[in-house]
Chains A and B, each alone.
Chain A
């Protein structure tokens, strides 16, 4: 069969079978577009393929403003599909939005491994943001330690010399 004949055959065959059903993600996107969030989430959860289910759940929950739940859905999907760039990118972005700096950093680093350089250039600034959150966390932890030690140090530095001085300057009754 010539190439042209093959193409004609495929076209006829495709037209003869029923249109492929939309998967969970496609249904979720459509239903969210129609502002039917509950139906969208139900469609997402009914999806049998784990990756598509995780993507769809994350999408609906993120669009509905349930950021933490969306991230958890994304992380669950990454258990089975750790190299999916779509899930990695959105989960990392959600982690960033929730100020989970170290998680966001890890997800962005994973994303870096699975995307090409041109795509990664778009996400690289976000990795910087994740690291900035981490740095703020570390600064906060350091400040907390400093504050706790500061209280002890100031009290010791004030009270111990005072006690010694007070005892030394005691006047014996005549």
Chain B
């Protein structure tokens, strides 16, 4: 066995190709996000497609490796991958739009998001992954021919280089490439690197051919094209700022003028939802916004003096802003908030009046809600849980019995937990499971209220006490902005008491929230279908 010239160079090429594979895979989810979100179903589809394509690529590469001059074939695999990756930013919009028509709503989305993201992933990312899959076996063949050693030795060296490259690509894409340079440039950098590697490999194989040079030039031409084009904004919607963060695509949009002026912070949006909302003056939002119902505990506990609130899932600070303008006169707001995405906090301070750090305002930016809560020993009068990811997903670790027990420990006696839960009615499986799990942790029933004119429910729980219910002493709020919120939810069917153990228990170990969310969406779809099938009586001709 000998150490042939060019072998370290080949391994470096393999490592860079491994990095390219991970750039494609991780940026792929960002590319699809404006149409399909970044739910676990979308991640699963993208990873599944890339793995299948890589498997096909390995098989293809294993046969191509038997041809004469595998080094040149390796160069072609790299150039092909470069060309396909260079096309991706421009191809994303026309392909994804085929499977996600504009103006969709969440209640009809579940199947479309699943199948649409799968097909779009297959069409967009499998060609590049197949080409990159060929790199491994071809490189093993090249290394083995050069070293004249064992196949296992060559294979091990190639796998090691490829995996190390993938590792660098993984961290580089998430923490640097996409947040700092954006989606298009990330793909162009990957394509440029692969094209360069392809040309170097051709040179190693005896010289760059015209076809090889032409392919590399075509990659450069694609990079001069329109790049990644997310879906267009709706009519009368103005884009104020957009950014790529470590977690998601974030944007602030504005609608209306004068008294109807409103700004929304949206993440990965392709549907009719938003993460935070802002209006010029603090206080209650128009009817239909669940944030209004966060202010009730401060009124129910009137005379508290200082009201210490922790908002888990602060977003752009809508909950703070509603509370700021809707607190009882004798109560001062002392607000803390946790937001996992620092970019959200940055945009909120620029466009949505999120208060800066100061007395009575503390932001845990870049923190996970559970980690931040565990970090501090402070107790609160109210903890607001409003943690949503990917438009409609409650993270599993933020709806488990263990988490709610931790929340319970951070409340003063009689303190309130208020949970926003997206659901289509009080019997929604997600709503039921989260509320009954929280009730189990608090060892007391929870009051569940359907927010009028919305598809949100709010659960109220108290440490060491029962929440008030319609008609019970303490329920009525005599005056102030919160008073008008109660009468509509007193209607039959607009509230119910959820007892501990009355629904499925979600734990850190066994948490079926993903399946429940899918069930919720499909039930909503069925309800709508049933409603549509209603046949009203016909007027006489």
Contact = CB atoms under 8 A, between A and B. Distances in A.
B259 interface: no
Contact of B452 (A64, A107, A137, A147): A64
A65 B104 contact: no
Contact of B493 (A69, A110, A113): A69
Interface of A: 35-38, 41, 60-61, 63-69, 71, 75, 78-83, 88, 91, 95, 98-103, 106-107, 110, 113-114, 136-137, 139-140, 142-144, 146-148, 150-151, 154-155, 158-159, 162, 165-166, 169, 171
A86 B487 CA distance: 25
Given A110-B539, A147-B116, A64 B111 contact: no
Interface string B523-538: 0000110011011111
Given A41-B492, A147-B99, A82 B539 contact: yes
B63 A165 contact: yes
A169 to B, nearest CB: 5
Given A83-B539, A144-B111, A150-B123, A162 B532 contact: no
Given A36-B487, A106-B536, A113-B539, A136 B63 contact: no
A65 B492 contact: no
27 contacts: A35-B484, A36-B487, A37-B488, A38-B490, A38-B491, A60-B491, A64-B487, A65-B287, A66-B452, A66-B494, A82-B537, A82-B538, A82-B539, A83-B539, A91-B536, A98-B528, A100-B528, A136-B101, A139-B101, A140-B108, A146-B98, A146-B119, A147-B99, A147-B115, A147-B116, A155-B122, A162-B56
B103 interface: yes
B63 A169 contact: yes
Interface of B: 56, 59-60, 63, 66, 98-105, 107-108, 111-112, 115-116, 118-120, 122-123, 126, 130, 287-288, 425, 450-454, 470, 484, 487-488, 490-494, 527-528, 531-532, 534-541
A34 B537 CA distance: 33
Given A98-B531, A136-B104, A166-B59, A151 B537 contact: no
Given A110-B536, A151-B118, A165-B63, 15 more contacts: A35-B484, A37-B491, A38-B487, A64-B452, A64-B487, A65-B452, A66-B452, A68-B527, A75-B536, A102-B532, A140-B112, A143-B98, A143-B99, A143-B100, A146-B119
A69 B103 CA distance: 25
Nearest to B470: A38
A95 B122 contact: no
4 A-B pairs with the lowest CB-CB distances in the bound complex, closest first = A65-B452, A82-B537, A150-B119, A147-B115
Contact of B536 (A37, A103, A114): A103
B15 to A, nearest CB: 27
B111 A154 contact: no
Contact of B531 (A60, A71, A146): A71
A115 B524 CA distance: 33
